[in-house]
Amino acid sequence: MQVVSGRIGYEKVHFEAPGHEVLDQELANFLSWFNEPDNPMEGLVRAGLAHLWFVTVHPFEDGNGRLARAITDMALSQDEQLPMRLFSLSAQILRERETYYEILEQTQRGGVDVTAWLIWFLEQVQASATAAEQTVANTLAKARFWLRHQSATLNERQRKVLNRLLDAGPGGFEGGINTRKYMSMTKTSRATAYRELSELVTLGCLKPTDKGGRSSGYELIW
């Protein structure tokens, strides 16, 4: 099996998998290592090596990357010894797909030194955990916000705008909300937009930004 890109006649071979004559033994070696009950290797390193090893053995015509990511998540779960995982490395690898293929090709062509791969892999573990932590924090902040304002009388337009601001997270909605943006999001008139924004300020949901003039607007009170 080969991993190839480019049009016909100008193909570039990025990787060539082990031949069929050694594939069964190579896959058996991998499975024996992965299923070793008392593997002394550090859990994150084991997960990184498992991903690289499986995708390098490359036993299938298609789906090797998906299976490698599933094996990696399984290895991380085994290391954490928890019934559920709060972050997905698979999603992080997909977000960094371009650099993933670059470091993978570099490692597979570079002999037996996997240091650069493991450094990249551990960086993705950290980034994935950080992203999950931020998601949890934003979800909790959103829940606390609505708990504080559960008795406020709001119409659907106001709730829609507030949810957009909450989903964006602190500082995520560039420039805050202003009359023009409110009109665009809710398809309402300028007078209605101005009045409903003013109501949200009175209710303590929004506060005016420091900017004035054309840049005047409002931001969420977290």
Total domains, the chain: 2
Residues 46 and 130 in one domain: yes
Neighbouring C-alpha atoms within 13 Å toward the C-beta of 21: 0
The pLDDT assigned to 216 comes to 72
Residues 104 and 157 in one domain: no
Residues 43 and 100 in one domain: yes
The CATH number of residue 157's host domain is 1.10.10.10
Which of 135, 167, 195 represents a domain boundary (last residue)? Answer: 135
Residue 84 is part of which domain span?
Answer: 2-135
The pLDDT assigned to 213 comes to 52
C-alpha 201/C-alpha 161 separation (Å) is: 13
What is the β-pairing status of strands 2-5 and 12-16?
Answer: antiparallel
The pLDDT assigned to 172 comes to 76
Amino acid at position 74, single letter: M
Residues 129 and 161 in one domain: no
- What 3-state class would DSSP assign to 171? coil
The pLDDT assigned to 12 comes to 76
pTM: predicted TM-score of the whole model, two decimal places: 0.71
The pLDDT assigned to 146 comes to 95
**CA nearest to 161, candidates 176, 147, 144, 140:** 176
Query: How many angstroms separate the first and last alpha carbons of the chain?
Result: 54
**Low pLDDT (below 70) residues in the chain:** 211-215
Q: Judge whether 141 lies within some domain.
A: no
Whether the Cβ atoms of residue 102 and residue 66 lie closer than 8 Å to each other: no
Whether the Cβ atoms of residue 69 and residue 90 lie closer than 8 Å to each other: yes
